[in-house]
Amino acid sequence: MMGGIQHTRVARGRKTKVCAVDLFCGAGGLTKGLENAGIDVRLGIDVDPTCEFPYTANNKAKFLPKSVDDVESHEIEEAFQKNCIRLLAGCAPCQTFSTYNQKATSEDKRWWLLRQFSRLILETTPELITMENVPRLRKQAVFQEFVEALEGAQYHVTHDVVNCEDYGVPQHRQRLVLLASRLGPVHLLTPTEFGATRITVRKAIGDLAPLEAGEISTSDPMHRASILSKTNLKRIEASRPGGSWRDWQEDLVAECHRKRSGKTYPSVYGRMSWSESAPTITTQFFGFGNGRFGHPEQNRAISLREGAILQSFPKDYLFAPPDEPVKIKSVGRLIGNAVPPVLGEVIGRSVLAHVSNYPNAMENAHLGARSHA
């Protein structure tokens, strides 16, 4: 496997070390993937304080609770280790560019976050850049501005929309991935180069202990399912894998779906299929009525742990301190907003494969860093 051979040579030979700072780091999905690939992530930055525990409990990097608006270039430069190729990674919050937010305009402040990412790139000039976001961003003027700024700063830029399930993430998740390098042309490893195989829902979560709606596992507080009303319990009992509310008898159908406009939302109130990938895990995946998030055979929505696993987080990833109760909405939001760690590993191994083509990159980077300083 080409990607694996290059990755092994870089990691074991240590001819070239890559260190990273993760902007908008969230609960640490991208950082975990980069670390798994062999990249030394030095710092994660996020304005949300609830990210700090999962980020630091599961990763080696330090955490800085700060808005990117207020981050200064020296804070990033000081985090990077000397004698390494520097990678600045970022996934600006994507709600503005999501299909769920059709009213966004260029004046929306959240678009400013991408411009702040661009500011920090131009002020620190790291050798490598990566960004992950929703596909719709690619069509926005602010993204074109971002790419043009990188190209004007002598970066080779590539970007494409990928389906995460092609890389072994057990869900159908379309994401925009950008890579940029001052060393030379760069590309994302293909699924074949990465050595990926598709993973079904059964393979991902089929071995977890059964739960009732509202039940919490005694061995894992993250394996907990939301309570269902009597009506929703009847609805899920009437649901079949891969189906929707259209399969129910008339008295179970919600009033909003009986209207003509409701006919356009067939993907809510459905069960997942064991033999397929999961649908996109959103921040509301723990609710049966929020999508096709019903368990394939148990009468409940998937648990927080199941959602995290379908996002490709390790089964023992911690999202809340052991001595504190798990807040379903808060943790669900962290999981749904995360970069899947497996996608992070794809990015990391792509970066290492790229750097291995430039044996003098370390020396040049070191000289460039001294010159910039």
Query: pLDDT at position 173, please?
Result: 97
Rounded mean pLDDT of 287-291? 84
Tell me: pLDDT of 265 over 70.
no
Query: pLDDT at position 245, please?
Result: 58
Rounded mean pLDDT of 8-17? 51
CA distance 189 to 37: 13
Closest C-alpha to 127, from 373, 371, 361, 370: 361
Tell me: pLDDT of 118 over 90.
yes
Tell me: pLDDT of 62 over 60.
yes
Query: pLDDT at position 360, please?
Result: 79
CA distances from 62 to 27, 205, 224 (A): 12, 31, 29
Residue percentage of the chain with pLDDT more than 70: 81
Nearby residues of 318 by Cβ (< 8 Å), 6 or more positions away: 53, 54, 57, 58
Predicted confidence band of residue 231 (pLDDT cuts 50, 70, 90): confident
Helix axis angle for 141-152 and 111-124, nearest 10°, is 0
Per-residue tokens: 41: 């992530």
Per-residue tokens: 273: 């299929």
Query: pLDDT at position 216, please?
Result: 97
Tell me: pLDDT of 372 over 50.
no
How many Cβ atoms from other residues are within 10 Å of residue 372's Cβ?
12
Closest C-alpha to 304, from 54, 34, 123, 46: 54
Tell me: pLDDT of 35 over 70.
yes
- Chain centroid to CA 256: 32
How many Cβ atoms from other residues are within 10 Å of residue 67's Cβ?
12
Predicted confidence band of residue 100 (pLDDT cuts 50, 70, 90): very low
Class of domain 2-199+338-372: alpha beta
**Of residues 213 and 249, which shows the higher confidence score?**
213
Predicted confidence band of residue 262 (pLDDT cuts 50, 70, 90): very low
Query: pLDDT at position 91, please?
Result: 86
Query: pLDDT at position 4, please?
Result: 37
pLDDT tens, 157-180? 999 999 999 999 999 999 999 999
Rounded mean pLDDT of 131-155? 95
Find where tokens 């109760």 sit: 325
Lowest mean pLDDT segment, chosen from 28-37, 51-60, 145-154, 239-248? 239-248
Rounded mean pLDDT of 279-299? 92
Closest C-alpha to 235, from 216, 218, 257, 215: 257
Query: pLDDT at position 264, please?
Result: 52
Tell me: pLDDT of 338 over 60.
yes
8 A C-beta contact, residue 104 and residue 97: yes
Concatenated DSSP letters of 137-193: GGGSHHHHHHHHHHHHTT-EEEEEEEEGGGGT-SB--EEEEEEEESSS---PPPHHH
Tell me: pLDDT of 367 over 80.
no
The residues annotated as belonging to the active site are: 94
pLDDT tens, 304-315? 999 999 999 999
